[in-house]
Amino acid sequence: MPDVALTSIGGATRWAVSRLAAADVPSPRVDAETLLAHALGVDRAEVRRLAVLDRDLPGAAAARFAAAVERRAAREPLQHLTGVAPFRHLELSVGPGVFVPRPETEQVAQVAIDEAARVVTRQGSAVVVDLCTGSGAIALAVATEVPGARVHAVELDAAAHGWAARNVAATQAGVPAVVVHLVRGDARTALRELAGTVDVVVSNPPYVPPGAVPRDPEVAEHDPAVALYGLGDDGLEVPRGVTAAAARLLRPGGLYVMEHAEVQAAAARAMVAHSGGFGPASTGDDLTGRPRMVVARRCGDAGASPDAPAGGRANRDRLSP
C-alpha cells in the first residue's frame, strides 16, 4: 500500500496520477481513472463524478487499486491489469501471451471493412481472411461491422490462439449472426481450400526488424516477441510469406491490406511488387497521418475498381515505381 491513506476517491485519483506521472507513464490521468473504475466496477465517467463529490473509497477497492497502480508504474500494460482492450466498438479480452491491439490498427481494419461492405453490396456476401489474427481484433471488427461477411482468422501461436478463441466465443455468444472461423495454423500455408476465392485478405503480422527493440517497456517487455519481430534483416520475412499467401488466396480483383512500420512503406510496396500477382501497391495512412499499411489488388478486374482504397486517402504519390 502507498504511504498516503487512500480513503477518498478524489484523493486516490490524485495520488495515482502523481505516482504514474513520476514513473513516466504516458497518460497518467486516463490510466489512474481506468484502474480506479476497474477496482470499483464502474466506468470512468462515474469515477470522475465520484471524485468531484470526493466520496469514500472502500478499503477492499483501495487495496486493489493501489496494487494495480504500482504494477502500472512498473510499466505493466494497462490492458493486462484490466484484462480488456478496446478496438473500434469491441472490448477484447487480452493478457500475457497476446499482442495488445493498437489504435493505429483500427484504420487497417477500416480498409478491410469498407472493401468487404462493397463486395456484400455487390454480390450479397464476402469472404475475408485475417492472417496473424492475434486477439482476433480485425477479424471480429469485420465480422461485426459487415453483415454478410464470412471471416476466416488464422493464428499459429498457441497462447494467442487461445485469446482469439475466447474473444470469438464471447462475441458470437452476444451476436450469434457473427461468422468467424478460427484456425490454428501457419498464415503462410493455411486455408488452401480457399485459394482464389477470397475477396479481402487483411493482416497485422509481426514486422519489427531484429535490431529495432521497441522503446516502450509495455511493448518490449510484455508483448510476445513472436507477435513483434518479423525476422530477416528488414523485419519483412514473415510479411513476405503472408503476402505470398494473400496472392494465393485472393480472387482476381480481391484486395490485400497489411500493416507495417512507418519506416517500411517503400520496402512494403516493393515486397508486394516482387511477390507477383498484384497490381500497383499504394501506402495508406493511420489516423495520425503516418504511413502504416500497404494496399494492393490481385491482378484481374473481376468487377473491382482500379484504385485500391488506402486508409483515408489514396496516396498515389507513394506508389512503387
Sheet bearing 282-285, strands edge to edge: 180-184, 149-155, 126-131, 198-203, 250-259, 291-297, 282-285
Q: 273 Cβ partners below 8 Å, 6+ apart?
A: 280, 281, 320
Pairing between β-strand 180-184 and β-strand 198-203 as defined by DSSP bridges: unpaired
Annotated binding residues: 155, 204-207
Distance CA 111, CA 126 (A): 14
Identify the residue whose cell numbers are 485475417: 130
Amino acid, single-letter form, for residue 69:
V
Annotated binding residues for substrate: 204-207
Annotated binding residues for S-adenosyl-L-methionine: 155, 204
CB 154 within 8 A of CB 190: yes
Distance CA 220, CA 21 (A): 20
- Alpha carbon separation from 67 to 1, 134, 177 (Å, rounded): 7, 28, 40
All cell numbers assigned to 255: 484486395
Distance CA 62, CA 51 (A): 14
End-to-end, the C-alpha distance of the chain in Å comes to 60
